[in-house]
Structure 1
Amino acid sequence: MHIDLSGKHAIITGSTAGIGFAIAQGLANAGAHVVVTGRTQARVDDAIAALKNATPNAKVEGVAADLGTAEGCQTLIKQQPSADILINNVGIFIRRTFSM
């Protein structure tokens, strides 16, 4: 099956590695304009380079922001105020002991 997402703008949070990166790569391969996000500019730059290397014609941008904070969310909204596709791959967790 071929999905054509040409002309669509996709934001994938937590997308500099792992599942988020794989989703960004799949959307880029389908022709979407992809925005990757991560907490550091270095990780975002590395992800953009890897996506462009894997899919030379990919339209890829990035936003470095900690989306676990209100300030980070505002940074993303300011830089990317709209999207056709939003994949939220950011989670906040606290380590806790497991006991019964």
Structure 2
Amino acid sequence: MKQILFSLLLALALAQPGAAAADCYVEYKAKQDSPLRLHYGILAIGGSCPSANAAQQIAADRVAAGGWTLLTVTGLSTTPPSSQMIANAGPYYLRF
């Protein structure tokens, strides 16, 4: 069920590129302990990109709400992610 919902949301997001054009995309890496799990993800912040420190705090708060610990922010961009980046993020593309 989650996979179907994710696919539908992804299709909607890709079908309306103008709607997301003003967003700031944050690439990040996060972890969970016991057992150790790592993931790469991309989240969107509405509007222009904040400072690196502000983006780090926003990302940390969002992934923490999902039970993850932010390791690092690897990039900020107002350009929508490439299809390769979206594929790399998998289920963590716009999850948080």
TM-score in terms of structure 2 length: 0.33
- Which structure has more strand as a fraction of its residues? 2
Larger Rg: 1
